[in-house]
Chain A
Amino acid sequence: NAGVTQTPKFRILKIGQSMTLQCTQDMNHNYMYWYRQDPGMGLKLIYYSVGAGITDKGEVPNGYNVSRSTTEDFPLRLELAAPSQTSVYFCASSYGQGPNEKLFFGSGTQLSVL
């Protein structure tokens, strides 16, 4: 049972480069999320999706794009990488949405923009 899988685990980008962080889940969850965690800070929601074809902005969406063409996949795209995007990125999924829903997380992608 793979759960939520993120790739890559580590990446170094130069300023202005683009990349896609991949996230896939095999639990048939409707809801998927992207968070970022900066040093000494809590996780902040970037984007989320309530099902295939539907995405919405979280707290800190600027500089990112997402798509949800299938239930399983929820890639996060950085078009013009900036040093402010140096962070650890977590993808998560849940079956439903509500105060008691359990989130399942991937192991994270550590991104450095130099």
Chain B
Amino acid sequence: GNSVTQMEGPVTLSEEAFLTINCTYTATGYPSLFWYVQYPGEGLQLLLKATKADDKGSNKGFEATYRKETTSFHLEKGSVQVSDSAVYFCALSGPVADKLIFGTGTRLQVFP
């Protein structure tokens, strides 16, 4: 069935470092792909999405490209800030009524 695999955290970076959080997926058909972010004490919120192969989603300096050939949707940011410290979830639209299937989440900690 459809599934998502994320790199384990925590990812610890200094401010202004480059960020990559890996996400790969297994799916039948052509799912949409998402990154959600959960800041401390808050609910998950949509960060970016891509709906077809080679699409690039972007928001708040974060980017991810839908790579069908490598079944990946890695999250990147060129220069992280302390305020980016959060848990990041990769997700894809599932085969049953388009329900979202989430990865396990990756905690990012950014230090000044």
Q: Verify if B17 is at the interface (C-beta below 8 Å from A).
A: no
Q: Verify if A97 is at the interface (C-beta below 8 Å from B).
A: yes
Contact between A100 and B102, CB atoms less than 8 A apart: no
**How long is the Cα–Cα vector from A4 to B41 in the complex, in angstroms?**
14
Residue of A whose beta carbon sits closest to that of B41: A107
Contact between A43 and B45, CB atoms less than 8 A apart: no
**What 1/0 mask marks residues of chain B from 33 to 54 whose CB sits below 8 Å from any chain A CB?**
0001010011111100101000
Contact between A100 and B43, CB atoms less than 8 A apart: no
What would 11 more interface pairs be, CB under 8 Å, given A45-B99, A99-B98? A6-B43, A42-B89, A42-B102, A42-B104, A43-B102, A58-B99, A90-B43, A104-B43, A105-B36, A107-B42, A107-B43
29 residue pairs bridging A and B, Cβ less than 8 Å apart: A6-B43, A35-B102, A37-B105, A40-B104, A42-B4, A42-B101, A42-B103, A42-B104, A42-B105, A43-B100, A43-B102, A45-B99, A58-B99, A90-B43, A92-B43, A97-B97, A98-B93, A99-B51, A99-B93, A101-B98, A102-B46, A103-B44, A104-B43, A104-B45, A105-B43, A105-B44, A107-B41, A107-B42, A108-B43
- Residues of chain B at the chain A interface (Cβ within 8 Å): 4, 31-32, 36, 38, 41-46, 49, 51, 89, 93, 97-105
- Residues of chain A at the chain B interface (Cβ within 8 Å): 3-4, 6, 35, 37, 40-43, 45, 48, 58, 90, 92, 97-108
